[in-house]
Amino acid sequence: MSMSGVAVIGVGMTPISSTSDKSLTELFVQAAKEAIDNAGIDRVDAMYVGNMMSGFLQHQEHLGPLMASALGKEGVPTYKVEAACASGGVAMNVGMKAVLSGLDKIVVVGAVEKMSGYSTPEVTTGLMMAEDRLKVATSGVTFVGLNAMIAREYMHRFKVSHEIMAELPVLCHENALDNPKAQFHKRITVSDVLKSPLVADPLRLYDCSGIGDGAAVVILTSTEEARKFTDTPVEVAASSVASDTLSLYQRKDITMFEASRKAANEAYGRAKLTPADIDVLEVHDAFSVLGLMALEDLGFAQKGKGAQLLVNGECNRDGRLPTNTFGGLKARGHPVGASGMYQIAELTLQLTQHAAKCQVPNPSIGLAQSIGGIGSTVAVHILRRI
Amino acid sequence: MSMSGVAVIGVGMTPISSTSDKSLTELFVQAAKEAIDNAGIDRVDAMYVGNMMSGFLQHQEHLGPLMASALGKEGVPTYKVEAACASGGVAMNVGMKAVLSGLDKIVVVGAVEKMSGYSTPEVTTGLMMAEDRLKVATSGVTFVGLNAMIAREYMHRFKVSHEIMAELPVLCHENALDNPKAQFHKRITVSDVLKSPLVADPLRLYDCSGIGDGAAVVILTSTEEARKFTDTPVEVAASSVASDTLSLYQRKDITMFEASRKAANEAYGRAKLTPADIDVLEVHDAFSVLGLMALEDLGFAQKGKGAQLLVNGECNRDGRLPTNTFGGLKARGHPVGASGMYQIAELTLQLTQHAAKCQVPNPSIGLAQSIGGIGSTVAVHILRRI
């Protein structure tokens, strides 16, 4: 990384919907065209497509040439990158390395997922592809069931009430009201969360992100080249990926994710920053408990104390650590393989002052955390206005 | 690439079998341990896993942490890379960029596929995930059917008889007799090919690679570091990936693959080499006609004349251009997402004089071509003894 850094010079996102009539290709192309227009590029050297479920749900692989060809960019090197729900986050990491390698100058990195229109058993089986099929999925436990075990243990050990945990989905739904691309535009209260239907005890409907379709795309180039395309480039100050055991049963402590800590520490070290430097944050709140754990694993709160930041209003858009400012996975939506890329696109909008009604005051550094499976993959990105 | 190049310092391969009782994980771990031992490394900085079908066939994604954890390497950044049948080839490209980025010093790049134990309709549907699901697969055409259309047109336009085309599978089966890891150990004749059952007219059984399970893994590091691990490092002189339209119906000429030509020309340019410099060759002969086209697209023969090299004996192990020296996709086997990685491992064995009974005389430069889908992705690697 001595030569030059990597910058984001354009972003595009589709609205997220569970009633989309768009195909996987149409979703990706819409976001990619928006990003390409936004960056003002006229050539593409490589394209990376993050996605988790297309083989299982759409019986479609080989998304690289599918998308490149649909964009009129056939010829470019292009492939799919997958790490379950962190597919978008790790695609960003792979794209960054491509630019750093010196081989690809202008890179399209996007991610897409289409989950609607399938039966609950199909989507449930699809999500469990993030865990061990032979040793865990065959037991009948679901993905939300595994996260419910985490929530139960976390709430018990740290004496965190459901009322307090519910502050996160309440905040996310509040923020999403200002995001026209969010899946949910509905204000909810703590009481609504607690009265919502039980999904997997203790997690209730409003603790869980929904099923949605969407695509997000960013354009990367070197920081040296970036100002040719935009007056407001955003540098990728760090991009770190860490893994852990694939399965929850293999962990000693299920109330923290070692991969989050490892990726975050590495990212802070590379960027020469600390948690106190972060002005805007996107955490992977697929389930409310994961958002609290993220605040702790990323260094913003002591173990078991993540919810205090929410209770104190620090995570509000006018607080010290604005979090999930476009609605997060819970309310912006969680098209699983694409969510990590939505985070990057949203942070870029924040850092370039293009976040419209979601804008927080003058942020210069943002951090995004994307989780694959039960904390088995974590991608942490730190973006910085330059 | 100005700073340093990338070198292969270790390889591992499982035998290929259609009656394997090994899981996806067991296959990968076996090859990875062999490669790690072969390289003598004691740490891993990142791991890339190429695979095409695990989501569809095994209902298992997230192969990165699955494999890293099974290897006792949990923690490392790891992800799956997919480009249909070229998944192994493009994983190599991604791994090389990771080393060139300077972020990953010692990288494990492997690929695995498990295709046995499933019904023919399942595997047939799985293979068609390489083509457009909505616009082509739903017509009912199979993957071999599409390749049969290519063969028909190629044979007609260039007046190539089936007898001549059959020279390639005959050579591959001959070479595989000396490869203990090959799927097929059976000498065949041109007459056997012509009398074998029709699969999709004009392609017969012995024109087609089979269904098999396998994994291959290589270890990469910088050329500067390579000699710490081995006296015989092999440099990745070039790694190029190109794409084309996803679908055959979108092409003007189906008797050549533009992506092969593009990737090959780029690779020759980067390595500052020409086809005449290549001492040993691995082509993607999933169907016999593809091998002939490869000889042409890669610059070894004029259009329509690829088979002449075979007829003249030039592709034999003692010829001018030894080709598919371990048996190729046809006889070594074609565990689709893994085949591109087998090619890299086999070339490395050739260039380090470790190819045992498959060894060709003192080669210093090798080229591998890996195809995804109907020529929709092509990865070309040039390896060089240093």
* pLDDT tens by residue, A265-316: 999 999 999 999 999 999 999 999 999 999 999 999 999 999 999 999 999 9
3-state secondary structure of A253: coil
Q: Which of B150, B129, B166, B157 is nearest to B377 (CA)?
A: B129
- Displacement of CA B75 from its chain's centroid (Å): 29
A222, A246, A262, A266, best to mutate vs chain B, most B CBs in 10 Å: A246
Residues A59, B244: C-beta atoms closer than 8 Å:
no
Of A85, A172, A208, A315, the catalytic one is A85
Q: How confident is the model at residue B61 (pLDDT cuts 50, 70, 90)?
A: very high
- Considering only CB atoms, which chain A residues are within 8 Å of B28? none
Q: Which of B91, B353, B375 is nearest to B246 (CA)?
A: B375
Instruction: Indicate the residue of B2, B258, B373 with minimum beta-carbon distance to A62.
Output: B373
Mean pLDDT of B74-91: 97
Q: How confident is the model at residue A4 (pLDDT cuts 50, 70, 90)?
A: confident
Residues B242, A376: C-beta atoms closer than 8 Å:
no
Cα–Cα distances (Å) from B379 to B10, B260, B269, B376, in that order, read 20, 8, 15, 10
Q: Which of B212, B229, B224, B160 is nearest to B328 (CA)?
A: B212
Q: With 60 as the cut, is the pLDDT of residue B2 above it?
A: no
- Displacement of CA B138 from its chain's centroid (Å): 27
- Residue A240 falls in which region: left (phi positive, over 0), alpha (psi -120 to 50) or beta: beta
Q: With 60 as the cut, is the pLDDT of residue B3 above it?
A: no
Q: How many residues does chain B have?
A: 386
Residues A132, B79: C-beta atoms closer than 8 Å:
no
Mean pLDDT of A84-107: 97
Q: With 60 as the cut, is the pLDDT of residue A3 above it?
A: no
Closest-approach residue (CA) in chain A for B122: A59
Catalytic status, residue A85: yes
Cα–Cα distances (Å) from A35 to A29, A109, A325, in that order, read 10, 10, 20
Q: Which of residues 6-45 of B touch A (CB under 8 A)?
A: 23, 25
Mean pLDDT of B207-221: 98
- Considering only CB atoms, which chain A residues are within 8 Å of B240? 77
Mean pLDDT of A26-39: 98
Instruction: Indicate the residue of B1, B65, B84 with minimum beta-carbon distance to A61.
Output: B84
* Active-site residue list of B: 85, 334
Mean pLDDT of A81-93: 98
Q: With 50 as the cut, is the pLDDT of residue A226 above it?
A: yes
- CB of B183 less than 8 A from some CB of A: no
User: How far is A196 from A190, CA to CA, in rounded Å?
Assistant: 10
Residues B52, A61: C-beta atoms closer than 8 Å:
yes
- Considering only CB atoms, which chain A residues are within 8 Å of B65? 83, 243-246, 372-373, 376-377
Give the pLDDT confidence of B9-44 residue by residue, as tens digits. 999 999 999 998 999 999 999 999 999 999 999 999
- CB of A118 less than 8 A from some CB of B: no
Contact indicator for A9, A226 with CB cutoff of 8 Å: yes
Q: Are strands A78-82 and A46-50 parallel, antiparallel or unpaired?
A: parallel
Give the pLDDT confidence of A34-51 residue by residue, as tens digits. 999 999 999 999 999 999
3-state secondary structure of A187: coil
- CB of A376 less than 8 A from some CB of B: yes
Contact indicator for A324, A330 with CB cutoff of 8 Å: yes
**pLDDT for res A208:** 98
- CB of B97 less than 8 A from some CB of A: yes
Question: Distance, in angstroms, between A72 CA and closest chain B CA?
Answer: 9
Q: How confident is the model at residue B319 (pLDDT cuts 50, 70, 90)?
A: very high
Domain spans of chain A? Answer: 6-118+212-233, 136-208+235-329+352-385
Of A173, A284, A334, A381, the catalytic one is A334
Q: How many residues does chain A have?
A: 386
Instruction: Indicate the residue of B25, B77, B100 with minimum beta-carbon distance to A243.
Output: B77
Contact indicator for A196, A349 with CB cutoff of 8 Å: no
Q: With 90 as the cut, is the pLDDT of residue B133 above it?
A: yes
**pLDDT for res A237:** 97
- CB of A117 less than 8 A from some CB of B: no
**pLDDT for res A103:** 93
Question: Distance, in angstroms, between A130 CA and closest chain B CA?
Answer: 5
Closest-approach residue (CA) in chain B for A71: B245
Q: Which of residues 67-86 of B touch A (CB under 8 A)?
A: 68-69, 74-84
Mean pLDDT of B173-190: 98
Close Cβ partners of A119 (under 8 Å, ≥ 6 residues apart): none
Contact indicator for B40, B243 with CB cutoff of 8 Å: no
Q: How confident is the model at residue B4 (pLDDT cuts 50, 70, 90)?
A: confident
**What is the pLDDT of chain A when averaged over all its residues?**
97
Instruction: Indicate the residue of A96, A98, A129 with minimum beta-carbon distance to B60.
Output: A129
Contact indicator for A183, A331 with CB cutoff of 8 Å: yes
Question: Distance, in angstroms, between B166 CA and closest chain A CA?
Answer: 29
Q: Which of B213, B190, B133, B194 is nearest to B310 (CA)?
A: B190
CATH number of B6-118+212-233: 3.40.47.10
Q: With 50 as the cut, is the pLDDT of residue A15 above it?
A: yes
**pLDDT for res B228:** 96
Closest-approach residue (CA) in chain A for B60: A129
Closest-approach residue (CA) in chain B for A102: B1
Close Cβ partners of A15 (under 8 Å, ≥ 6 residues apart): A180, A181, A182, A183, A214
Q: With 80 as the cut, is the pLDDT of residue B1 above it?
A: no
**pLDDT for res A1:** 40
Give the pLDDT confidence of B287-301 residue by residue, as tens digits. 999 999 999 999 999
- CB of A125 less than 8 A from some CB of B: yes
A44, A79, A81, A247, best to mutate vs chain B, most B CBs in 10 Å: A79
Give the pLDDT confidence of A198-216 residue by residue, as tens digits. 999 999 999 999 999 999 9
- Residue B223 falls in which region: left (phi positive, over 0), alpha (psi -120 to 50) or beta: alpha
Give the pLDDT confidence of A308-348 residue by residue, as tens digits. 999 999 999 999 999 999 999 999 999 999 999 999 999 99
Residues B258, A75: C-beta atoms closer than 8 Å:
yes
Instruction: Indicate the residue of B61, B69, B259 with minimum beta-carbon distance to A82.
Output: B61
- CB of A229 less than 8 A from some CB of B: no
User: How far is A20 from A214, CA to CA, in rounded Å?
Assistant: 9
Closest-approach residue (CA) in chain B for A247: B66
The class level of CATH for A136-208+235-329+352-385 reads: alpha beta
Contact indicator for A113, A18 with CB cutoff of 8 Å: no
Q: With 60 as the cut, is the pLDDT of residue A247 above it?
A: yes
**pLDDT for res B375:** 98
User: How far is A150 from A33, CA to CA, in rounded Å?
Assistant: 40
Closest-approach residue (CA) in chain B for A96: B101
Contact indicator for B307, B313 with CB cutoff of 8 Å: no
Residue-wise DSSP of B315-378: TSTTSSS-BSTT-IIIII---GGGHHHHHHHHHHHHHTT--GGG--SS--EEEEEEEETTTTEE
Mean pLDDT of B196-204: 98
Q: How confident is the model at residue B137 (pLDDT cuts 50, 70, 90)?
A: very high
- CB of B251 less than 8 A from some CB of A: no
Contact indicator for B282, B246 with CB cutoff of 8 Å: no
Give chain B's radius of gyration (CA, Å): 19
